[in-house]
């Protein structure tokens, strides 16, 4: 009998950012990365009352790319390059930190005039050795520019990488696959083995793989080099993530990722001594280095 295509099931743990709770699946003690994905937070679904909103104060990153993707709501991004961008559901914000960048994520003042919802995925991609100390950058890609596809009972959007002849316009530093799927109850999807490392994350609905049923809000890490047939037991909202195995191990310290522990220590000192650039339009606040760090 062949073994299950599911190699590991990760149950996310709760964490708090910017005054609201997130569910964090990566990094996990037994699985640090899936391809380049080294961090995975589910934000919401939640709602802010009138007068309140998200307030993730300016904080630094090195050696990683943040990928913000919303299902509902809007967030204002500002960074130390001078970028300002409001992201809406279906858009992608890609910020590559390289040698260092600072950014904030907040609810705009106009949005706080009424109740607002927030729901999405915040993930990090480890940058390859050739880019982890390179120039920082920011790129916004609107929903309309991302390839969409549809087959019997299945609709999807490709945010990053290639899938069934489609290619996302978002430039990649490393082989990456990232897409959103909706399956009607009873619909199936054959996921090929082209991507070296893959994982599934259901936001809603129950899915079945090789006769085993899985509930939402779990990360299912798949065996490599194995096609996987996914069946929606109920209407299913599913994320697919993965890519090639990274070119070297990565270390994580707070908001920093690097192949070098010495580089992490340097970034820690740089933030502690306020040597990072400020965020134009959001210069007054910042997230201090955590106590004991």
Q: Is pTM, for the whole model, over 0.75?
A: yes
**What mean pLDDT value characterizes the chain?**
95
| pLDDT tens readout for residues 49-91 | 999 999 999 999 999 999 999 999 999 999 999 999 999 999 9
Q: What is the pLDDT of residue 262?
A: 98
2/107 Cα distance (integer angstroms): 49
Confidence category of residue 16, pLDDT binned at 50, 70, 90: confident
- The single-letter DSSP state of residue 261 is H
Separation of alpha carbons 131 and 99, rounded Å: 9
* Average pLDDT for 243-267: 97
27: preceding bond cis by omega (within 30 degrees): yes
pLDDT on residue 1: 39
| Measured CA distances, 124 to 49, 107, 256, 264 (Å) | 29, 21, 10, 16
**Cβ within 8 Å of residue 194, ≥6 positions away:** none
Residue 293 pLDDT: 53
Using CA atoms, how far apart are residues 100 and 68, in angstroms rounded to an integer?
A: 18
Instruction: Give tens-digit pLDDT for 220-231.
Output: 999 999 999 999
Q: Between vectors from CA 229 to CA 227 and to CA 234, what angle results, nearest 5°?
A: 155
Write out the two tokens for 186. Answer: 């009873």
Q: Is residue 18's pLDDT more than 90? A: no
Q: Percentage of residues in the chain with pLDDT exceeding 70? A: 98
**Residue 174 contacts residue 67 (beta carbons within 8 Å):** no
């Amino acid at each position: 009998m062949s073994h299950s295509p599911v190699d590991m099931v990760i149950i996310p743990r709760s964490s708090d950012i910017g005054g609201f709770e997130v569910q964090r699946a990566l990094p996990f003690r037994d699985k640090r990365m899936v391809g380049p994905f080294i961090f995975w937070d589910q934000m919401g679904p939640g709602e802010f009352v009138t007068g309140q909103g998200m307030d993730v104060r300016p904080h630094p990153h090195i050696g990683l790319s943040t990928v913000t993707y919303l299902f509902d709501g809007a967030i204002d991004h500002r960074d130390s390059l001078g970028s300002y961008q409001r992201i809406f559901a279906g858009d992608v914000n890609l910020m590559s930190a390289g040698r260092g960048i600072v950014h904030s994520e907040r609810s705009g003042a106009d949005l706080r005039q009424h109740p607002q919802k927030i729901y999405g995925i915040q993930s990090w991609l480890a940058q390859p050795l050739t880019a982890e100390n390179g120039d920082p950058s920011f790129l916004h890609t609107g929903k309309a520019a991302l390839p969409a596809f549809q087959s019997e009972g299945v609709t999807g959007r490709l945010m990053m990488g290639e899938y069934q002849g489609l290619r996302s316009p978002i430039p990649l530093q490393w082989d990456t696959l990232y897409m959103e799927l909706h399956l009607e109850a009873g619909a199936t999807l054959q996921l090929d083995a082209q991507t070296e490392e893959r994982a599934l994350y259901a936001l809603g609905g129950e899915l079945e793989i090789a006769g085993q049923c899985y509930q939402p809000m779990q990360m299912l890490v798949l065996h490599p080099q194995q096609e996987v047939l996914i069946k929606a037991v109920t209407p299913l909202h599913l994320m697919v993530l993965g890519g090639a195995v990274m070119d070297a191990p990565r270390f994580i310290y707070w908001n920093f990722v690097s192949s070098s522990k010495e580089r992490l220590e340097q970034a820690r000192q740089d933030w502690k001594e306020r040597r990072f650039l400020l965020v134009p339009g959001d210069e007054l606040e910042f997230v201090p280095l955590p106590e004991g760090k």
